[in-house]
Amino acid sequence: MFNPCPKPEKKKKRFDYDIKKVKKEFKEKGITRCEICNTELWLSFAHRHKRDWYKGKGELINDFNQILLLCVPLCHTALEKDSKLTEQIFNKLRGEE
């Protein structure tokens, strides 16, 4: 059946995550290795909370205290799987929220 008025596309919800700003801040602070195991390989940013938590919280997703630079195969994966470990590591490296 022909529909002359197609349904509007659903907009994907986006976060105001500014990766360039975050990279620059970490580089300025001299953080260029995994903050847990000190490796230089396969690095990625890990957030204190799951992404849904940051909805409506503006720039908090870019806040230094909400982000760690971690290696993907070991540290980032371990924190992703264990919320208690995530809280312990963030409290140790960035302080309590």
DSSP calls for 58-81: GGGGG-GGGEEEEEIIIIIHHHHH
Q: 54, 44, 53: which is closest to 19 by C-alpha?
A: 44
Instruction: Give me the pLDDT at residue 57, please.
Output: 86
pLDDT per residue over 4-13, tens digit each? Answer: 666 677 665 5
Instruction: Give me the pLDDT at residue 1, please.
Output: 55
Instruction: Give me the pLDDT at residue 88, please.
Output: 97
The amino acid at 90: F
Instruction: Give me the pLDDT at residue 11, please.
Output: 63
pLDDT per residue over 11-64, tens digit each? Answer: 655 567 899 999 999 999 999 999 999 999 999 999 999 988 998 887 899 999
Instruction: Give me the pLDDT at residue 56, please.
Output: 85
Model pTM score: 0.82
